């Protein structure tokens, strides 16, 4: 079908199910999960903390003449997130909404024909109608997007999915990974008495408490370079819950203990981790070993901590997969902010530390 005869819209239940089958065939195979088992996982994610209040929606590319057709050419999931933005000249952050796009899939029989690029190009209009109105987009997100982010498994492909001629698509960011193979990592024989292991609910409370520090973090970044615009996702607990849920599902497939901890902190201090933070790396290695993992990954370890990472057996390299990227829209219809002047602050600070099991890598 001609690209001009396709539209994007929020999926009906039937279309969402068809898209899920496509997703299961592609992403399920990547994680060695068969289609039936993958489909059974969908309701678990639909009821997660990160999906409540309509914050998880499904989008499809379908024929304009039959918009409710289950002939889905391409699909994706969109998570709505609250964000804090500190723009040049502002003295305190403002709140708005951002979005995370994931599970982008083109139906097998339609691949290689430009449908994916068309679909993602039109998604800009669904997310930011105030910037890019388009008659081929018939439904829109409830909360207009200031910025959208994604993790690319296909290099810079999404940079070419543009909202209009002369506009950029999603701009890749520097993406690093620090890996500790447990066979070579320096693992302490015992857990320090000065460190408290955290349950899943403890991690949520700790992250909720730490959210109040994020505005100050943004202001600190602005003080270092006042020429930039900074944004960060809040609250962080729902973001972490997404990664935790994936981790639990994967652990259930092995013979790992059922009472694993999901974080740690130093009592009466600000140091903590949802499996990534300075001063607690040794404990993460202990937990990973007990879970029978092969390695530990942390994404985008700050430059000043890489020496410490090396000392504990970690090796930092540029990621070749799951590359972070964002598209800045701003809140005004005529926003002129250059993407080079926008900084995704504190990205991967909490929820993108990966504990890998067997050959599974780079979940997002």
* % of the chain with per-residue pLDDT over 90: 46
pLDDT in tens, 206-228: 777 778 888 999 999 999 999 99
User: Which of 92-101, 246-255, 268-277 is predicted most confidently?
Assistant: 92-101
Please report the pLDDT score of residue 359 as a whole number. Answer: 25
- Structure-model confidence comparison of residues 182 and 362, the more confident one: 182
pTM assigned to the model: 0.82
Sign of CA dihedral 294, 299, 305, 306: positive
DSSP state letters, 101-168: EEEEEE-GGGTTTTHHHHHHHHHHHHH-TTT---TTB----SS--SEEEEEESSTTGGGG--SSTT--
Domain spans, the chain: 3-174+320-346, 178-318
- Cα-only R_g, the chain: 21
- Structure-model confidence comparison of residues 238 and 52, the more confident one: 52
Residue 283 scores a pLDDT above 50 = no
Residue 344 scores a pLDDT above 80 = yes
pLDDT average, residue stretch 30-34:
77
Please report the pLDDT score of residue 353 as a whole number. Answer: 36
Local confidence band at 180 (pLDDT 50, 70, 90 cut-offs): confident
Instruction: Give me the CATH code for the 3-174+320-346 domain, please.
Output: 3.40.630.30
Residue 306 scores a pLDDT above 90 = no
Inter-residue contact 48 to 245 (CB < 8 Å): yes
Please report the pLDDT score of residue 18 as a whole number. Answer: 95
pLDDT in tens, 115-144: 999 999 999 999 999 999 999 998 999 999
Please report the pLDDT score of residue 279 as a whole number. Answer: 32
Show Cβ contacts of residue 6 under 8 Å, excluding neighbours closer than 6 positions: 61, 62, 63, 64, 73, 115, 118, 119, 136
DSSP state letters, 2-26: -GGGEEEEEPPHHHHHHHHHHHIII
Per the prediction, the chain carries an average pLDDT of 82
């Amino acid at each position: 079908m001609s690209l001009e005869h396709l539209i994007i819209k929020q999926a009906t239940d039937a279309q969402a199910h068809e898209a899920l089958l496509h997703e299961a065939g592609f992403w399920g195979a990547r994680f060695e999960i068969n289609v039936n088992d993958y489909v059974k996982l969908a309701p678990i994610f639909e009821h997660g903390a990160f999906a409540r209040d309509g914050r998880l929606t499904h989008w499809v590319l379908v024929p304009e003449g039959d918009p409710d057709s289950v002939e889905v050419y391409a699909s994706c999931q969109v998570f709505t997130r609250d964000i804090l933005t500190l723009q040049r000249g502002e003295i305190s952050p403002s709140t708005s909404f951002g979005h995370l796009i994931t599970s982008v899939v083109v139906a097998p029989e339609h691949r290689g024909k430009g449908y994916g690029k068309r679909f993602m190009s039109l998604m800009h209009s669904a997310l930011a109608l105030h910037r890019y109105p388009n008659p081929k987009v018939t439904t829109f997100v409830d909360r207009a997007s200031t910025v959208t982010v994604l993790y690319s498994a296909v290099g810079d492909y999404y940079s070419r999915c543009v909202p209009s001629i002369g506009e950029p698509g999603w701009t890749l960011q520097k993406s690093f990974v620090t890996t500790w193979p447990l066979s070579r990592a320096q693992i302490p024989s015992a857990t320090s008495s000065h460190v408290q292991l955290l349950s899943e609910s403890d991690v949520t409370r700790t992250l909720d408490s730490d959210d109040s520090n994020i505005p100050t973090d943004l202001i600190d970044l602005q003080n270092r370079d006042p020429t930039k615009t900074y944004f960060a996702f809040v609250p962080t607990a729902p973001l972490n819950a997404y990664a935790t849920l994936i981790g639990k599902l994967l652990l259930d497939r092995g013979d790992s203990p059922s009472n694993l901890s999901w974080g740690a902190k130093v009592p009466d201090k600000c140091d903590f981790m949802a499996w990534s933070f300075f001063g607690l790396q040794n404990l993460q290695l202990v937990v990973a070993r007990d879970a029978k993992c092969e390695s530990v990954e942390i994404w985008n370890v700050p430059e000043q901590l890489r020496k410490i990472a090396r000392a504990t057996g970690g090796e930092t390299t540029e990621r070749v997969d799951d590359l972070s990227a964002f598209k800045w829209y701003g809140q005004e219809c005529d926003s002129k902010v250059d993407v080079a002047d926008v900084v995704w602050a504190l990205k991967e600070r909490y929820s993108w530390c990966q504990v890998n099991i067997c050959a599974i890598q780079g979940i997002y």
